[in-house]
């Protein structure tokens, strides 16, 4: 009985590690796509934002129920089928030390609780990183 219990525990540990690795791979791919959108030298904000928004849902744990909105200045960009819900994660976009907008990720229906409601702690870091990268790009465009 103990050997079977140990095997089940090992399998659960391996399954958990595999799930965590898959989530990190999704997050990395999201960051690569965001960086690709931001690195186009002559791209306008209007050209970059749809590409960034397209990269966001696949980077989150539940992409099928994930929508996003980016607001910069007086412009707002959203993923297709965007709706506001109570399940939201938000980060400010700053260019230098000036708030220029925000990025919000929503789940369209209730999902299991993790680290911060339905969101993983790594997703909080991911949304902040995306906001930082957008802010840096906006600041860079203004300087040049």
Would you report the helix, strand and coil content of the chain in percent, each value rounded to 5?
55, 20, 25
CB atoms closer than 10 angstroms to residue 26: 19
Q: pTM for the whole thing?
A: 0.88
pLDDT at 119: 95
pLDDT at 12: 85
**Cα angle, residue 66 at apex, residues 62 and 72 outer, rounded to 5°:** 140
Rounded Cα gap, residues 85 and 38, in angstroms: 28
CA atoms within 13 A on the CB side of 66: 18
pLDDT under 50: residue ranges of the chain: 143-144
**Pairing label, strands 98-107, 88-95:** antiparallel
pLDDT at 42: 87
Q: Which residues contact 47 (CB under 8 A, 6 or more apart)?
A: 40
């Amino acid at each position: 009985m103990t050997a079977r219990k140990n095997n089940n525990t090992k399998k659960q540990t391996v399954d958990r590690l595999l799930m965590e690795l898959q989530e990190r791979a999704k997050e990395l791919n999201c960051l690569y796509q965001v960086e690709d959108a931001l690195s186009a030298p002559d791209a306008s904000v209007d050209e970059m934002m749809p590409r960034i928004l397209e990269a966001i849902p696949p980077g989150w744990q539940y992409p099928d129920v994930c929508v996003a909105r980016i607001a910069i200045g007086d412009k707002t960009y959203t993923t297709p089928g965007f709706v506001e819900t109570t399940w939201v994660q938000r980060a400010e976009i700053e260019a230098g030390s000036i708030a220029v907008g925000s990025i919000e990720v929503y789940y369209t229906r209730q999902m299991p609780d993790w680290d911060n409601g339905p969101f993983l702690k790594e997703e909080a870091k991911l949304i902040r990183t995306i906001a930082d990268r957008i802010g840096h790009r906006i600041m860079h465009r203004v300087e040049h």
